[in-house]
Chain A
């Protein structure tokens, strides 16, 4: 080996010794600017969600409704999905206020029972936004992934009635919030509350067949189990 080649080799080693740590340092700097998750799991993106649900109305003045339903979504991204919800009421119950009114107005031979109305069937197209997701630890040992979603939608509502009020078909815009807890790659517990806006008469005095219509907020608390398909969980690239 000539003296010149030896010099070149030594020069190469010196340059490598100087440059390689600088490259490592540059990589650290890049890490500082890196996203919080480099290859996030596609919990929702490009997956179908099917969720059977139970629901009941809350904060009711005159009548409470209990329902079953089904939710379907297709998530284009981890943060956005599009689909539909249906809820069908299978039972209603007078509130304590309605029972008190009935007791106060009922006289011998004449019922004071008011007629009431509540959401009976709800079907709507829904956009779902997921602005927040993460993971939590239960009791220091059980890790659970979760998200929080916001729903916005519109569709058809049909009331269910008691007494002399008649059921009506109505336009029913809605919004809601909810959370999902993933217990494995494709099954999650889903809890939420939806607010349906409907213009109908929620009550009428005994003998009145019409009542006075008004825009009402109908809050429905829902709990269900979500199934995500395909079941295999993938990473974003």
Chain B
């Protein structure tokens, strides 16, 4: 009896090993049907005459794991740079100031890439990356409202079930009417922020 008690479980285990099992891993983070609120900081990286620090936020609804729609707003804090002063002092010319004041718009985003990385050899962090396209309006100067198109690329690191860290590069494209003539503007803005997700958690349909 004792021998049977030891041997039979072993035989059953061997039989289990012979079966083919289709394994589907649980997603480390569920996005579908969740809302993400992202306060963010931004900086325009390709502007040499003006410093544009920005604060703002995105409100994003994830329709599926890949597709989402979002509303976005950024308030600009403009200032001239040392290059602006250099142009004035070196060449006695005075570039026209048309400060950007704010941007408001919407976008569609698609996340076709996901992955994970190991930080310092021990911390596994899942992430994904998205592309976005959208439109809105930019206010420059005092009352210059400009229709604006945006394209962007971003990545988010999944830190907890309700918190992500996000980085995004977004090109704001609009036509500015300077005194010297109209000019197409491409303002590349780097954003960094934290995403807060609602509902704050989820339950898997199947056990792990």
Contact = CB atoms under 8 A, between A and B. Distances in A.
Interface residues of B, number: 29
Contact of B91 (A16, A114, A137, A138): A114
Contact of A133 (B45, B49, B90, B117): B117
Nearest to B114: A137
Contacts of A133: 117-118
A231 interface: no
Nearest to A204: B90
B93 interface: yes
Interface in B51-90: 83, 86-87, 90
Contacts of B95: 97, 100
Contact of A138 (B87, B113, B116): B113
Interface string A121-157: 0000000000111111111100010101000000000
B48 interface: yes
B203 interface: no
Contact of B113 (A59, A61, A101, A137): A137
A138 B122 contact: no
B115 A59 contact: no
B3 interface: yes
Nearest to B94: A104
Nearest to B126: A134
A58 interface: yes
A204 B118 CA distance: 49
Contacts of A148: 117
Given A17-B5, A132-B119, A205-B91, A139 B48 contact: no
Interface range, A side? 35 or more
A85 B3 CA distance: 70
A14 interface: yes
A36 B46 contact: no
Nearest to B89: A212
B113 A14 contact: no
Contacts of B118: 36-37, 132-134
Contacts of A35: 121-122
Contacts of B180: 100
Interface string B125-157: 000010000000000000000000000000000
A101 B93 contact: yes
Contact of B115 (A36, A95, A100, A137): A137
A139 B180 CA distance: 46
Contacts of B2: 10, 13-14, 17
Contacts of A61: 48, 83, 86
A105 interface: yes
Contacts of B87: 97, 101
A36 B122 CA distance: 6
A46 to B, nearest CB: 17
A75 to B, nearest CB: 15
A148 B129 CA distance: 15
A73 interface: no
A60 interface: yes
A17 B83 CA distance: 79
Contacts of B120: 131
A195 B87 CA distance: 23
B124 interface: yes
A140 B121 CA distance: 25
B6 interface: yes
Contact of B90 (A58, A137, A212): A212
12 contacts: A35-B121, A35-B122, A36-B118, A95-B48, A97-B49, A100-B95, A136-B114, A137-B113, A138-B112, A139-B112, A144-B115, A205-B91
Interface of B: 2-3, 5-6, 45-46, 48-49, 83, 86-87, 90-91, 93, 95, 112-122, 124, 129, 180
* The 6 residue pairs across chains A and B that have the minimum distance between CB atoms: A136-B115, A134-B117, A17-B6, A61-B48, A61-B83, A36-B124
